[in-house]
Amino acid sequence: MGFPGTWMTESESMVYRVVPKCACSTIGQIMFYSDHGRFFDGDIHDATDGLHKWAREESQVAIKANVKTRSSYAFTCVRNPYTRILSSFFDKICGIQRNGKRYRGNLVPLLIQKYGIEVGGEDGKQEFDQVKSFRRFLLFARDTIRWRRPMEPDIHWSAMSGHVSTFIVNGGRYNKIFWTETFNDGMQDVLNAVPVRQEVDLGTIPRFNESEGHGPKRAHPVEDYFDDLSMHLIKEIYWRDFQLFKYDFDNPGNKMPIGEIDLDEVHAKLGD
pLDDT digits (tens, 9 = 90+) for 73-97: 999 999 999 999 999 999 999 988 8
Q: Output the average pLDDT for the chain.
A: 94
Strands (E), the chain: 6-9, 14-17, 51-53, 73-78, 176-179
Q: Is the peptide bond before 150 cis (omega within 30 degrees of 0)?
A: yes
**Angle at 237 (CA atoms; ends 213, 80), nearest 5 degrees:** 45
Q: What is the pLDDT of residue 122?
A: 79
Report, as an integer, the average pLDDT of 50-62: 97
DSSP conformation class of 14: E
Q: What is the mean pLDDT of residues 198-216?
A: 81
- Amino acid 196: pLDDT: 95
Three-state DSSP class for 221?
A: coil
Res 126 pLDDT > 90: no
- Is the distance from CB of 245 to CB of 151 less than 8 angstroms? no
Model confidence band, residue 215 (pLDDT cutoffs 50, 70, 90): confident
CA atoms within 13 A on the CB side of 170: 18
Report the pLDDT averaged over residues 99-126: 88
CA distance 254 to 222: 9
pLDDT at 148 over 70: yes
Beta bridge partners of 53: 7
**Average pLDDT of the residues in 23-48:** 96
Residue of 213 and 141 predicted with greater confidence: 141
3-class state of residue 214 by DSSP = coil
| pLDDT over 90 at 272, yes or no | no
For 38-49, the DSSP string reads: S--SS-GGG--S
Task: Looking at the chain, list the stretches that DSSP marks H as alpha helix, in order from N- to C-terminal side.
Answer: 24-36, 60-69, 81-88, 107-115, 130-147, 160-169, 183-193, 228-245, 263-270
Q: pLDDT category, 174, cuts 50, 70, 90? A: very high
Q: What is the DSSP letter of 66?
A: H
pTM: 0.95
Q: What is residue 105's predicted lDDT score, i.e. its pLDDT?
A: 87
Instruction: Give the span between the Cα atoms of 260 and 241, in whole angstroms.
Output: 13
pLDDT at 82: 98
- What pLDDT does residue 211 have? 60
